[in-house]
Amino acid sequence: MKLNKNYSKLEENYLFTEIALRTKKFIDANPQKPLIKLGIGDVTLPLPALVADAIINAFEELKHAETFRGYGPELGYGFAKNAVAQYYKSYGVELQLDEITVGDGIGSDIANITDLFEKGANTVLVPDPVYPLYKATSLMDNQKIEYIACTAENDFLPSPPNFPSDMIYLCSPNNPTGASFNFEQLKRWVDYANSCGAVILYDNAYERFIEESDKPHSIFQIEGAKTCAIEFGSLSKTAGFTCVRAGYTVVPFELKSDGVPLNRMWQQRQTTKYNGAPYPQQRGVVAALSKEGLAAADKNIAEYKKNSTLITNVLKEKNIFYSGGTNSPYIWFKCPNNMGSWEFFDFLLNEVYVVGTPGVGFGANGENYFRLTTFNTYENTKEAMERIRGIL
Ligand code: PLP
């Protein structure tokens, strides 16, 4: 057998594994110290009752012969795709149902879409720092990676480079920096991609956290995006689906390369290699994207935003440079006293028993930066920030 040698290019220690190891070592040595985790990128508030009920009811249907179902459509049930299309309509984006696929979260879709692109033959733009999946899958496929710097100088929002590329990963609102493109900035990327025939793989996982009206909720709100972009939307952070698992991917019919529609290829890929997202989850999608479901989701997001204020108030008070928190559940800040990311991680853990995420784990430009998240409880976040205030 001949293995994919590109896997050896992946980093030995995945960021969150290293964090878990260091945290465990600390707990073993200090079992009585009250640890608070502000590193988690996972929701903590429960599912809205109407969403949980929709999922439970769907399971109920499966108990009875008259309403039992077997395999569903690989690309998603019409009712779920319709709910997604209606959601897009609320932002003024018209989609046809067959431009949408519903799956089990976008981690897998973002990774699986790479099947459409020839391995070892594409130049891929990967922001630095960024969510690690894009770099890892590009390495696995032996693509040529060009990193695009996200730094304080460009407000962590890079502009297109002055050289052509084939594939571009953009994530806005961004994990980890919390920065989000405005309409104008995103239009520049759309124009660039159209001019060089590149595809933008647009990770929209945190769209629901957007508060500012100059920030688009979908790349398809930008003129020209349908000929150059694929968008991934997740219910994970929008509606607390990290355990339930559901997301959607939009591949517009107009998106083509040498006359070949990427939508057709994605459908071929999914109908061959995927047997469809579970029926109950898709009923959950409909409930989550209903008027009442979105109101309940927004209520939970408003709770997380209270934590955002707790965190940013301390950073402001201490004059620490930060980004994020407004349109995003992430706050990205400069480590005080020019500390390295891991040095600050150890400092917080040992001095005040707070766990965060070292910025360097998201890319070389993340060195000297640190990420806190707003997903813990209000009480824990308040306590953690009081402790941090005491040592900064
Ligand atoms: N994209 C980003 C930027 C994320 O932060 C995450 C999860 O944390 C995902 C994608 C994965 O989303 P899902 O839970 O839908 O697989």
d(CA 247, CA 103): 5
Atom of ligand 1 nearest to the CA of 107: 16
CA 30–ligand 1 middle distance (angstroms) = 32
pLDDT, the chain, mean: 97
- pLDDT (0 to 100) of residue 11: 80
Q: CB under 8 Å to 178, separation ≥6 — which residues?
A: 156, 323, 324, 325, 326, 327, 328, 329, 330, 331, 332
Atom of ligand 1 nearest to the CA of 234: 15
- For a ligand 1 pocket test, name from 135, 170, 175, 206 the mutation site with the most ligand atoms within 8 angstroms of its C-beta: 175
pLDDT digits (tens, 9 = 90+) for 180-192: 999 999 999 999 9
- pLDDT (0 to 100) of residue 16: 87
Atom of ligand 1 nearest to the CA of 109: 16
Helices 378-391 + 291-317 axis angle, to 10 = 10
Q: Which band of pLDDT confidence, cut at 50, 70 and 90, is reported for residue 371?
A: very high
Q: Evaluate if residue 287 carries a pLDDT over 80.
A: yes
- pLDDT (0 to 100) of residue 387: 98
- pLDDT (0 to 100) of residue 215: 98
Q: Is 121 exposed, middle or buried (0-12, 13-18, 19+ CB in 10 A)?
A: exposed
CA 188–ligand 1 middle distance (angstroms) = 25
SS3 331: strand
CA 108–ligand 1 middle distance (angstroms) = 9
- For a ligand 1 pocket test, name from 156, 169, 201, 234 the mutation site with the most ligand atoms within 8 angstroms of its C-beta: 234
User: What is the percent of the chain with per-residue pLDDT over 70, rounded to a whole number?
Assistant: 100
Q: Evaluate if residue 237 carries a pLDDT over 90.
A: yes
Nearest CA to ligand 1 atom 8: 41
Nearest CA to ligand 1 atom 5: 175
- pLDDT (0 to 100) of residue 223: 98
Nearest CA to ligand 1 atom 15: 105
Q: Is the pTM of this model over 0.85?
A: yes
SS3 95: coil
Q: Evaluate if residue 40 carries a pLDDT over 90.
A: no
Q: Is 201 exposed, middle or buried (0-12, 13-18, 19+ CB in 10 A)?
A: buried
- For a ligand 1 pocket test, name from 235, 236, 249 the mutation site with the most ligand atoms within 8 angstroms of its C-beta: 236
Domains located in the chain, CATH noted: 10-47+292-391 (3.90.1150.10), 50-290 (3.40.640.10)
- For a ligand 1 pocket test, name from 44, 156, 203 the mutation site with the most ligand atoms within 8 angstroms of its C-beta: 203
The amino acid present at 220, given as its one-letter code, is: F
Atom of ligand 1 nearest to the CA of 41: 8
Q: Is 6 exposed, middle or buried (0-12, 13-18, 19+ CB in 10 A)?
A: middle
CA 110–ligand 1 middle distance (angstroms) = 9
DSSP H helical ranges for the chain = 15-29, 49-62, 78-89, 106-112, 133-140, 183-196, 235-239, 262-273, 279-288, 291-317, 341-352, 378-391
- For a ligand 1 pocket test, name from 43, 131, 156, 180 the mutation site with the most ligand atoms within 8 angstroms of its C-beta: 131
CA 224–ligand 1 middle distance (angstroms) = 26
Q: Which band of pLDDT confidence, cut at 50, 70 and 90, is reported for residue 198?
A: very high
Question: 87 with 288: CB under 8 angstroms?
Answer: no
Q: Evaluate if residue 299 carries a pLDDT over 80.
A: yes
Question: 327 with 209: CB under 8 angstroms?
Answer: yes
| CA 284 to centroid of chain Cα atoms | 20
What is the CB < 6 Å shell around ligand 1? Answer: 41, 105-107, 131, 171, 175, 203, 205, 234, 236, 242, 247
Q: Evaluate if residue 13 carries a pLDDT over 80.
A: no
d(CA 231, CA 343): 36
User: What is the percent of the chain with per-residue pLDDT over 90, rounded to a whole number?
Assistant: 98
Atom of ligand 1 nearest to the CA of 131: 3
Residue with tokens 């709770």: 303
Answer positive or negative: Cα dihedral of 247, 251, 257, 260.
Answer: positive
Q: Which band of pLDDT confidence, cut at 50, 70 and 90, is reported for residue 227?
A: very high
- pLDDT (0 to 100) of residue 14: 77
Q: Which band of pLDDT confidence, cut at 50, 70 and 90, is reported for residue 337?
A: very high
